[in-house]
Amino acid sequence: MTRLRAETPFIHPDCEMSDASFGRYVEIGRGTRLAQCHFDDYAYCDRYADIANASVGKFANIAAFVRIGATDHPMDKASLHHFHYRAADYFEDAADDADWFAHRRSRRAVIGHDTWLGHGAQVRPEVTIGHGAVVAGGAIVTRDVPPYMIVAGIPAVPLRARFTPQVADRLMALAWWDWPHDALRSALEDFRTLSAEAFLERYA
């Protein structure tokens, strides 16, 4: 019996979720907090991830303690503190600032297909991580990352491309992440043993 299922995500204990949706074969690690986000097919996160206002692509690999879409404070106002937008927590006769929360939700981070976000990495709101990209552990990503690029540092900067532009383009055109489940099983040994170039020669 397989551990992961198409019909329902595998959610470990102690998770907090608000307006989260899931594709097939998804796994959510212990203690993770999700808000206003979607995990596409086969994506997973390890323990204690904190993900808000984000679209997570297929086969995304998210390590422990990653934070995506950290919420902002209003730096242009007289106060940074949330008493003025979470006012109902402080005053009996005041409502929360719905416009501020709508603004936060609109600033979505996008994590591409087959990406890897290392332990403790952070991805800021409105940042896109391209397909096949790698974010090193501890990096803070403040700008879009091109497909198949490896980035590291604070703020994150490109280290090197995983593949030549030609190979990266061919992988994106192949879009193996859209293959049916049984096609993935049929190609499993080739995923395990072939280089990206050899895999493309066989399947592209």
The DSSP line for 175-197 is: -GGGS-HHHHHHTHHHHHHS-HH
- Structure-block tokens of residue 65: 């303690």
38, 73, 103, 119: the active-site residue: 73
To the query of whether residue 131 is one of the catalytic residues in this protein, the response is no
- Residue 31: which region, alpha, beta or left (left: phi > 0; alpha: psi -120 to 50)? left
Supply the DSSP symbol for 88: G
* Residues acting as catalytic residues: 73
